[in-house]
Amino acid sequence: MSTDLTGLATSGGPDIDWPDLPARQQPTWHDPAALAQTLSVLGTYPPLVFAGECDQLRSRMADVAAGRAFTLQGGDCAETLADVTGPNIRDRIKTILQMAVVLTYGAGTPIVKVGRMAGQFAKPRSSDTETRDGVTLPAYRGDMVNGFEFTPQARRPDPERLLRCYHASSATLNLVRGFTSGGFADLRSVHAWNKGFLTGPAQARYEVMAGQIDRAVRFLEASGVADAEEMRRVEFYSAHEALVLDYERPMVRRDHRTGLLYDTSSHLVWVGERTRDLDGAHIDFVSRIQNPVAVKLGPTADRDTVLALMDRIDPERTPGRLTFITRMGAGTIRDVLPSLLTSLGEDARRVAWVCDPMHGNTFTSPSGFKTRRFEDVVDEVRGFFAAHAEAGTHPGGIHVELTGNDVTECVGGTTPVDLDDLGLRYETLCDPRLNHQQSLELAFLVAEMLERGGR
């Protein structure tokens, strides 16, 4: 991220008259006075990201849409306040940087790096309530809304949490900016990013690649063509689902250069599968902001819906403005994605296409854990590449739920996590994430797919 201060948006959101449209998945706050107070405080806080950075990401996503770059988007399903710690954030960044190096080196393609972090604190739920042993309480909607603990106090939505998540996002971004602009992200430190993780086949393969990169870097330096400053930093962007409008709306600022609106909570925001109603408040929200935005598409998304989303959010077909993140399921993607892409004609080439191979492949293990098979994740990505090869469109990236920690949440991989192992280190409060080993392994496989161009 380069901090373009000329893009510092200065005015807050109160001058914006948000239309009163139906909004799914919103918390039921109980104290209107406390909510109003919180919203006005949030509206005075400094932006977390700058308009100029959002513009820069939009131009990177234009490269993705045009097939000149590939994007890697990854992070927790749901960030939690308790997990905003130095080691957790560092290991997630290291994991994404390692995956990006594997993809860049393996496929020779620029990688647009996006962390699903610094704002990913709210979750859509299939039910408003949860019942345990005959007791019914509000469902957990993420730390931005209520607490996970199954007590009436914890589950009561508390607007104060919007402010706590703002501060946690700010602390996270501070560390991200430090790690990615200081010496830590230096290409000459590729070996160091592997340190501290358990060793396995993917880490060993990474070490070999890191040795080759070292030699290449030394060669470039010795030849006098390496720009030392450029090698020291990496562009890294933040993203989250724009779900709780009481968080996103007060974070909107007007860019003083252009008068245009930006959601300064994150560089990119997306609208989830459950809130992408054409006439709903979420699609209206993203249509008003200048950030690059994304919309998730499940297996039932049809041509008319997709075209209507494009017309609503990106009527001018601005390069990099709109990304569709498909999450079809490994068993479904080959049946539905090629025909969807083909039916869109030239319009399919005017947006970026990213594969979320996680959300269509979730199942419950016999022992009761929500999980995913690594093999299904890989298979959906293969189906994604094949669909784009068939339709003549660009497979633009992957969007994955991952952690740098050694968790046992998804099954499979070369150091396999078995169904019986899930209970060992199952730490997510929401969806199962790839662990460090599985994430690196996925990067190696995707690098091969990229290199082959979907064949």
Q: What does the binding site for ligand PEP look like in residue numbers (CB under 6 A)?
A: 77, 124, 272-274, 296, 327, 359, 431
Query: Should residue 409 be labelled a site residue for Mn ion when binding is judged by CB under 5 A?
Result: no
Q: Which of 143, 263, 314, 431 binds Mn ion (CB under 5 A)?
A: 431
Q: Residue 261's closest CA among 237, 280, 284, 295?
A: 284
**Cα dihedral 152→154→160→161 (10° resolution):** -140
Determine the straight-line distance between the first and last CA of the chain, rounded to whole angstroms.
34
Give least dist CB 199 to ligand PEP, A: 30
Residues in the chain: 455
Give least dist CB 408 to ligand PEP, A: 19
As a whole number of angstroms, the distance between CA 369 and CA 372 comes to: 10
Q: Which does 296 bind (CB under 5 to 8 A by kind): Mn ion, ligand PEP, none?
A: ligand PEP
How crowded is the C-beta side of 13, counted as CA atoms within 13 Å? 27
- Stretch of 28-36, 174-182, 194-202, 424-432 contacting Mn ion, by CB under 5 A: 424-432
Query: Should residue 354 be labelled a site residue for Mn ion when binding is judged by CB under 5 A?
Result: no
Q: Residue 98's closest CA among 226, 10, 190?
A: 190
Residue 53 or 273: which CB sits closer to ligand PEP?
A: 273
Handedness of CA 403, 353, 454, 213 (dihedral sign): negative
Give least dist CB 32 to Mn ion, A: 31
Angle between helices 374-391 and 333-343 (to 10 degrees): 30
Q: Which does 273 bind (CB under 5 to 8 A by kind): Mn ion, ligand PEP, none?
A: ligand PEP
Residue 328 or 447: which CB sits closer to ligand PEP?
A: 328
Give least dist CB 433 to Mn ion, A: 9
Residue 90 or 296: which CB sits closer to ligand PEP?
A: 296
Helix (H, G, I), strand (E, B) or coil at 422: coil
Give the β-pairing of 370-372 and 135-138.
Answer: unpaired
Q: Which does 124 bind (CB under 5 to 8 A by kind): Mn ion, ligand PEP, none?
A: ligand PEP
Q: Which residue is nearest to ligand PEP (CB)?
A: 272
Q: Which does 272 bind (CB under 5 to 8 A by kind): ligand PEP, Mn ion, none?
A: ligand PEP
What number of chain residues touch Mn ion (CB under 5 A)? 2
Query: Should residue 434 be labelled a site residue for Mn ion when binding is judged by CB under 5 A?
Result: no
As given in the structure block, the two tokens for residue 247 are 């968080």
**Cα dihedral 174→176→178→179 (10° resolution):** 160
CA 302 from chain centre, in angstroms, equals 23
As a whole number of angstroms, the distance between CA 140 and CA 113 comes to: 29
Residue 307 or 429: which CB sits closer to ligand PEP?
A: 429
Query: Should residue 380 be labelled a site residue for Mn ion when binding is judged by CB under 5 A?
Result: no
Query: Should residue 402 be labelled a site residue for Mn ion when binding is judged by CB under 5 A?
Result: no
| CB distance 124 to 83 below 8 Å | no
Q: Which does 92 bind (CB under 5 to 8 A by kind): Mn ion, ligand PEP, none?
A: none
Residue 253 or 282: which CB sits closer to ligand PEP?
A: 282
Residue 241 or 314: which CB sits closer to ligand PEP?
A: 241
Quickly tell me which residue has 């009561």 as its tokens.
156
* Interface of this chain with Mn ion, residues 64 to 123, rule: CB under 5 A: 77
Helix (H, G, I), strand (E, B) or coil at 371: strand
Binding site for Mn ion (CB under 5 A): 77, 431
